[in-house]
């Protein structure tokens, strides 16, 4: 909800300023927006379809079962992978991570899950490629995955 | 036809959904419910994002972006990218088209990566939820480590993608 309010407030302020200064240019920006939308529409639909499939099968209960009380590096790796493929809003992810922590998952595992969840987006890769190119997308997601594992290990050491 | 080809994956996914409905109606029901709720979110957010992107393209001159976020913007550029990313503005896929416009207008790779990274992992509303469920210490340590990783990532990617960037910005 806050997201929608913030984004639309920014948009309204910008639109008013734009219209006030030049109707021509405002029209042009709508044309650019329309074109960009048509270009991204297929990948948006793909994201929707995959998100539905993943979240339909990988429910919070299933995730808890997979990385719940398991300790060790395998759980951390698994958590990182689950975080990378899933697409959960933080309002759901943090309570889930909190309950996993209380049920016995290690700090390292939880950090890996949270960090890959927010930074790596396998589901949104098609859209990222459309906007920023293959190489950028590949590098950003790989480095984020490696970075997440480093963060997880450091978190495990620091917060022991 | 190009248009049909572009929609190949969505059509394929639609077929998977149909199979799922016959095979595992329970899972299909959950899947469809999730898809609809995300479709609603996207339908509300995406038009605003695309129009904002159009406005950036039309109004913000390239030399300004280059000055604020370009290769020679230094610490100030890093700070601006970081602050833009932490604004409460929604999921990461929203940021991709915006990042693309910034990049085209002359932002450096380092700053674009920092912008995307803080958008993804260091959002202020997200941090508040994190403190509530995982505690202050966890949140602060993760924040600092993530920020460092993002900056290092930005620097490495800048080196690796320098040549490709020249093609985009020309």
Contact A87, A54 (CB under 8 A): yes
Count of beta carbons in the 10 Å neighbourhood of residue A10: 15
Q: Flag whether pLDDT at B140 surpasses 90.
A: yes
Domain span holding position A100: 41-158
User: By percentage, how much of chain A surpasses pLDDT 70?
Assistant: 96
pLDDT given at position A139: 96
Tell me the per-residue pLDDT of B49-77, one tens digit each, with 9 for 90 and over: 889 888 888 888 878 888 888 888 889 99
Cα A122 to chain centroid, rounded: 9
B134 to A98: CB separation less than 8 angstroms, yes or no: yes
State the Cα–Cα distance between residues B156 and A146, nearest whole angstrom: 13
* Mean pLDDT over the full length of chain B: 87
State the Cα–Cα distance between residues B90 and A118, nearest whole angstrom: 12
Tokens of A17: 């300023």
State the Cα–Cα distance between residues B150 and B156, nearest whole angstrom: 10
Tell me the per-residue pLDDT of A22-53, one tens digit each, with 9 for 90 and over: 999 999 999 989 988 888 888 888 888 887 88
A25 to B156: CB separation less than 8 angstroms, yes or no: no
Q: Taking chain B, what is the end-to-end CA distance rounded to the nearest angstrom?
A: 30
ipTM of the complex: 0.82
Distance (Å) from the alpha carbon of B43 to chain A's nearest alpha carbon: 10
Determine the length of chain B.
Answer: 170
Domain ranges of chain B: 1-45, 60-169
pLDDT given at position A71: 60
Asked whether residue A15 is assigned to any structural domain, the reply reads no
Mean pLDDT on A79-92 = 82
State the Cα–Cα distance between residues B101 and A154, nearest whole angstrom: 35
Tell me the per-residue pLDDT of B147-160, one tens digit each, with 9 for 90 and over: 999 999 999 999 99
Distance (Å) from the alpha carbon of B31 to chain A's nearest alpha carbon: 4
Asked whether residue A52 is assigned to any structural domain, the reply reads yes
Asked whether residue A130 is assigned to any structural domain, the reply reads yes
Asked whether residue A133 is assigned to any structural domain, the reply reads yes
State the Cα–Cα distance between residues A159 and A151, nearest whole angstrom: 12
Q: Flag whether pLDDT at B170 surpasses 60.
A: no
Higher pLDDT, A72 or B143: B143
Asked whether residue A151 is assigned to any structural domain, the reply reads yes
Asked whether residue A62 is assigned to any structural domain, the reply reads yes
At residue A70 the predicted structure's pLDDT band, cuts being 50, 70 and 90, is low
**How many structural domains compose chain A?**
1
Mean pLDDT on A122-142 = 92
Distance (Å) from the alpha carbon of B159 to chain A's nearest alpha carbon: 12
How many inter-chain contacts (A to B, CB under 8 Å) are there? 214
Which of A3, A45, A124 is the closest to B10 by Cβ? Answer: A45
Q: A97 — contact with chain B (CB < 8 Å)?
A: yes
For B31, which residue in chain A has the nearest alpha carbon?
A56
């Amino acid at each position: 909800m806050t997201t929608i309010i913030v984004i639309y407030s920014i948009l309204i302020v910008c639109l008013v300023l734009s219209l006030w200064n030049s109707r021509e240019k405002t029209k042009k920006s709508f044309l650019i927006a329309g074109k960009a939308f048509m270009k991204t529409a297929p990948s948006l639909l793909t994201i929707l379809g995959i998100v539905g499939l993943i979240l339909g099968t990988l429910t919070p209960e299933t995730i808890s079962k997979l990385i719940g009380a398991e300790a060790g590096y395998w759980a951390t790796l698994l958590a990182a992978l689950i975080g990378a493929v899933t697409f959960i809003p933080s309002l759901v992810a943090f309570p889930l991570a909190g309950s996993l922590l209380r049920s016995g998952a290690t700090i390292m595992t939880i950090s890996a899950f949270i960090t890959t969840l927010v930074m790596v987006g396998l589901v949104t890769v098609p859209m990222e490629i459309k906007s920023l190119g293959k190489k950028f997308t590949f590098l950003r997601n790989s480095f984020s995955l490696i970075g997440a594992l480093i963060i997880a290990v450091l978190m495990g050491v620091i917060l022991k | 036809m190009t248009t049909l080809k572009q929609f190949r994956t969505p059509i394929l996914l639609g077929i998977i959904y149909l199979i799922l409905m016959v095979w595992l109606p329970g899972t299909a029901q959950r899947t469809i419910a999730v898809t609809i709720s995300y479709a609603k979110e996207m339908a509300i957010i995406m038009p605003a994002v695309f129009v904002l992107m159009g406005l950036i393209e039309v109004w913000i001159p390239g030399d300004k972006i280059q000055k604020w976020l370009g290769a020679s913007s230094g610490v100030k550029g890093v700070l601006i990218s970081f602050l833009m990313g932490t604004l409460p503005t929604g999921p990461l896929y929203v940021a991709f088209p915006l990042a693309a416009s910034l990049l085209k207008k002359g932002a450096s790779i380092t700053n674009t990566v920092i912008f995307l990274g803080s958008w993804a992992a260091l959002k202020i509303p997200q941090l508040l939820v994190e403190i509530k469920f995982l505690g202050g210490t966890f949140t602060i340590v993760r924040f600092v480590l993530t920020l460092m990783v993002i900056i290092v990532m930005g620097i490495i990617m800048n080196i690796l993608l320098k040549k490709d960037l020249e093609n985009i910005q020309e």
